[in-house]
Amino acid sequence: MMMSRRRAVQLLRERFRSCFLAHRSDRPTSIHRPQSVSPHCSSVAPYSSSSSGASPRPGFLAMEHGLWSSGASDKNKAMVQQLQRYGVIKSTKVAEVMETIDRGLFVPPGGSPYFDSPMAIGYNATISAPHMHAACLELLEDHLQPGMRALDVGSGTGYLTACFALMVGPEGRVVGVEHIPELVASSTENIKKSAAGPQLSDGSLGIHIADGREGWPELAPYDCIHVGAAAPQIPEALIEQLKPGGRMVIPVGTVFQELKVVDKKLDGTVTVRDETSVRYVPLTSKDAQLQSN
């Protein structure tokens, strides 16, 4: 029986509750900034459950080990197919985009790009697990239509930013914001190698060095805003930069966090709902991030 996307994500966290506890004493300080290569617990490995109510069983972790003899494109496609089977991906468009943007181009050498876990990318930063990226793309799909504008706060490796670019197309605009210059440089190189590379050249996709808490007002308003770190409250600047009719997905909280879906109605009123419990590191300044222990 296909489980709902929300239930699938909940099962991931329930199965790896010890991972949450192990990281609560961590002191990372910015967008997906863990202390080590251990997975931070906004992104843990997905598991399936049978219709008989049996305990969740390992699925995704074992899946990758059977693919080492396959080519990168085959592994990436198998990763997406697993997310579809677990009900995290329901949209055909999201599946197509994640198959087209090879995650292997965005993970540092030596990493396991098709393993459903976040991975360190340097500077106390990580790339999120595939199921978290898929969940956010599903939530934002209607606001990533051709010609729309999207803002990715904490763009990191550029993976999700590249996915956004394919969805809005060259007639749209996508902005990635990251406050570590080295990550901006490396993510730009990653994107150049991907199917979204031409959109860097034509100017419909750009990565900028900036404090994500302030957004990127130059191209506001945005139909879609994604934030990859937990703020104590939703930054007012990001609400202001959200277009009427637009949607933002942002983790909010300190010790206990919720992935919130923020919708701005056409009359400018804002509604907020909780999608699922998550464990992200704080949205903070560049200096605080680099000085974390």
State the pairing for strand pair 173-178/149-153.
parallel
Smallest CA-to-CA distance from 183 within 76, 39, 33 is with 33
Of residues 42, 48, 128, 204, which has the active-site annotation?
128
User: Cα–Cα distances in Å, from 120 out to 37, 71, 168?
Assistant: 5, 23, 28
From CA 37, how far away is CA 174, in angstroms rounded? Answer: 29
First to last CA, the chain: 44
Q: Return the H-helix or E-strand segment holding 225.
A: strand 222-227
Tokens 């055909």 belong to residue: 92
- Reduced to 3 states (helix: H, G, I; strand: E, B; else coil), residue 106 is helix
Annotated catalytic residue 128: yes
**Active site (catalytic) residues:** 128
